Amino acid sequence: MSQHFSLDTRSHTAIHIVKGAVVKVLGAKWSTSAYSSRGHGGLTVQYDRKPSEEEIQLIEKQANIKVQENQQIEIYEMSRKMAETRWGQEIYDLFPLPIEIKKLKIFYLPGWNVNTCGKEHTLSTTEVGAIKIKKWRFRAPKRFLELSFDVEY
Ligand SMILES: [Zn+2]
């Protein structure tokens, strides 16, 4: 029996899962921002062209395959130096982390997503629930791809 997680926790965890799918489908590695609230979430990544509708559908499909896999999420607390040695710059987003921060919390879903993150997460991917991409847009001048989604039961 799995623990009950709040919608906030589920939609936040979904960001990591969607991000992994975005990297898998488009190769877009750098997040510029992310948000989640209740059952909604959004992610903006840097990308150099407008994706096709099929690619967006594939991102949603890959994210939900990952949800169904019920993969365990690993959380680590370690020195910044150790984390950088293990995963390199992949743990960071485009927004900088202050230099004085020496200890990091790491979200790690092996083979899918690694990111420095101090927020609450579900223990496994299935606890997030189904992910539905509701809207997306590509902002050409900034090369930003914005995705927003809902988590559903
Ligand atoms: Zn997180």
**CA 121 / ligand 1 centre spacing (Å):** 6
Report CA-CA distances (Å) from 84 to 32, 92, 120, 145.
20, 9, 22, 27
Q: Would the pTM of this model clear 0.85, i.e. be above it? A: yes
At position 117, the amino acid (one-letter code) is: C
At position 7, the amino acid (one-letter code) is: L
Segment 42-62 mean pLDDT: 97
Q: Encode pLDDT of 71-114 as tens digits.
A: 999 999 999 999 999 999 999 998 788 999 999 999 999 999 99
50 pLDDT higher than 60: yes
Q: So where are the chain's domains? A: 7-152
**CA 49 / ligand 1 centre spacing (Å):** 27
Class of domain 7-152: alpha beta
Q: Encode pLDDT of 20-42 as tens digits.
A: 999 999 999 999 999 999 999 99
